[in-house]
Amino acid sequence: MSKRKPEKEEAPRSCRPRSAGDLVGAIGDPSFRRFGFVQSSIVSRWGEIVGERYAKVSSPESIRFPAGRKAGGVLTLLVDGAHAPLIQHLTPMIVEKVNLFFGYAAINRIVFRQGKPPAAPPRPVRPQLRPVPKELGEGLREIADPELRACLESLAARIGASSGPPSLSRDDEAQIPEIDRSE
C-alpha cells in the first residue's frame, strides 16, 4: 500500500485556529507598494521598530525611492501635532532603526506630515486560568517557564474536568488508517 504524498501547492491541514493575516496572505501588498512600502511589515511592526512610545504618536505613511532604486528613499511619517518637534529631533535614530529593519540603507531622510496616526488595536486580554487540582498540579510547580506552566496547568485542569478518555464514533474509527507492522 503506497502512501499518498501531498503536492507542493497543497497546504497541510490542521485543526488549529489561524490568524486572519495568515488567511488573507498578500492581498494588501499591491496597496502597500502603491505607497512605496516594499515590505508591508514596516507598517504592522512600526511599534517594534521605533518603540511603543513613539509608535503611539507616529505612523509611516509612505516611502518614496529615487527612480529605479530601492535605496536612499524618503520616509513620510504621519505625526501627532504636539509630538512633531520631539519626533523631528529623533530623526537620526529613526533613520538608523528603519535601515536596521530593512538591512540596508533604504532611508536617507524623513518628511513629516501632521495628523492623527491610526490607533493601534488593543492587545487581547488573556483569560484567567482556573485553579489546578492539587493531585494534578504538584509536578507543574517545578517548571520554570511561566507560559509553558500555564499551558500545562490549563491542560491538566481540562483533563481533571473530563469524565474519562475520549470516545470515537464508528465514522471516526473508519477514518483512522491501518498501520502496517510487517515491515
Give me the domain span that covers residue 72.
29-114
d(CA 76, CA 42): 12
CATH number, domain containing residue 103: 3.30.300
The CA-based angle 29-110-63, given to 5 degrees, is 15
Quote the pLDDT of residue 93.
94
pLDDT at 116: 83
pTM of the model: 0.48
Note whether 109 and 130 are same-domain residues.
Answer: no
Residue closest to 87 by CA, chosen among 99, 100, 77, 75: 77
The pLDDT of residue 170 is: 67
pLDDT at 94: 94
Asked if residue 108 lies in contact with residue 72, where contact means CB atoms within 8 angstroms, the answer is: yes
How far is Cα 41 from Cα 53, in angstroms, rounded to an integer?
Answer: 19
131 shares a domain with 87: no
The pLDDT value recorded for residue 92 is: 94
Per-residue pLDDT of the chain (183 residues; tens, 9 = 90+): 555 555 555 556 666 776 666 655 566 656 655 554 555 678 888 888 999 899 889 999 888 888 888 888 999 999 988 898 999 999 999 999 999 988 889 899 999 998 887 766 666 776 665 565 666 556 666 777 778 877 887 787 777 777 766 666 666 666 666 666 665
Domain membership flag for residue 86: yes
Please tell me the distance from the alpha carbon of residue 38 to that of residue 67, in angstroms, as a whole number.
Answer: 14
**Is the residue at 89 inside a domain?**
yes
Are both 43 and 107 inside the same structural domain? yes
Q: Are residues 93 and 44 in the same domain?
A: yes
Same domain, 71 and 145: no
**What does the buried/exposed string (b/e) look like for 155-173 if buried means 16 or more CB atoms within 10 Å of the residue's CB?**
ebbeeeeeeeeeeeeeeee
